[in-house]
Amino acid sequence: MIASIRRRDVLHETVLSLARQSRQADEILLSVVNPERDVKEETLSISGVRLLVGAQGLTFQRNTGVAHVHPDCDLIGFLDDDTELHCDYLRNACEFMARHPEVVAISDGGMIANGASTGELSRIEALRLVESSGGDSSGKFWFRSGLYGCDMIVRRSVAEKTPFDTRLPYEALYEDTDFGVRCARLGRLAGVAGCRLVHLASQVSRPSAKRHGYAHVMNGFYLWRKGSLSGPSFFRNTAKGLIADFAGFIVPRHCKTRAERRGQLWGSILGFRDIVIHGAQPGRIDLI
């Protein structure tokens, strides 16, 4: 299933990627807020696509998807709306999960490229990278300590027991960290080399840089207090983000502009302010 908002063209190309799979998805659930704004008519005409409409926010939209999965479905795939999959992604995922009942979720095993690290990738670049990378049917895998939200395959029974935390609104930064920690209490997590994909990290209709900086600090603090993130991890992640934003503001890098770095720094400052005054309240991002 794919949660999306205001990214009709990006979403359409990702659904086409799913339509090219050697092992077709039983159904492709699109969880949106406003169908006219969020989904193209031609996307809905693709075989297997089913539209779901619900409350806005990644965690709300993913929970809506879980609640409407077909009763016969054993595995749920969570994909970002800006991914390009190798044609054997789903086949390798399903075969691996059938062979390893001790594994409850897989994620980030065959990441060919991630625009979140390299800077936004175009769909043409993503297609070229996927085609040139080749497949991997080796069955190689490794156990993981967490999940990465842009691609996760989760056993339905586990997803139903570990709903996404709706106290993390909008972009829901670190929602995958929290989800992965709770899934890991029910079984093993793994990365599978054959589940190959590219994450474009499209900037179309992304939340503001200020909100991103705010969520980086506030959501991390909230998950630390909740117990899904260790104290050292929270302080390390926060420090790394602040250093990267400060350095990127002084010397702009290809991933983000000086204006984006300035916005994230200001958002982080507002996050620290609200932690001191109000404590762990991620929902205050509404006021930013």
Kindly list the structural domains of the chain, giving each domain's residue range(s) and its CATH number in brackets, ordered by start: 2-199 (3.90.550.10), 209-287 (no CATH)
pLDDT tier at 66 (50, 70, 90 boundaries)?
A: very high
Nearest to 3 by CA among 155, 160, 171: 171
The pLDDT, as a whole number, for residue 253 is 66
**Ramachandran angles phi, psi of 102, nearest 5°:** -75, -15
Higher per-residue confidence, 68 vs 250: 68
83-85, strands of its sheet edge to edge: 83-85, 196-199, 110-114
Counting residues of the chain whose pLDDT is more than 70, the rounded percentage is 99
Confidence check: pLDDT of 127 > 80: yes
Give tens-digit pLDDT for 194-222: 999 999 999 888 878 999 999 999 999 99
Give tens-digit pLDDT for 106-115: 999 999 999 9
Query: Which of 24-28, 85-89, 203-207 is the least confident region?
Result: 203-207
Distance of CA 41 to the CA centre of its chain: 24
Q: What is the mean pLDDT of residues 22-49?
A: 97
pLDDT tier at 43 (50, 70, 90 boundaries)?
A: very high
The whole-chain average pLDDT of the chain stands at: 94
d(CA 277, CA 287): 14
Its pTM stands at: 0.93
The pLDDT, as a whole number, for residue 246 is 84
Confidence check: pLDDT of 14 > 80: yes
The pLDDT, as a whole number, for residue 214 is 96
Beta pairing partners, 83: 199
d(CA 43, CA 41): 5
Q: What is the mean pLDDT of residues 49-66?
A: 97
* Tokens found for residue 269: 């400052």
The pLDDT, as a whole number, for residue 170 is 81
Give tens-digit pLDDT for 209-262: 999 999 999 999 999 999 999 999 999 999 998 998 888 777 766 567 888 889
DSSP secondary structure code for residue 254 in this structure: S
pLDDT tier at 268 (50, 70, 90 boundaries)?
A: very high
Confidence check: pLDDT of 53 > 70: yes
Confidence check: pLDDT of 20 > 80: yes
Q: What is the mean pLDDT of residues 32-50?
A: 97
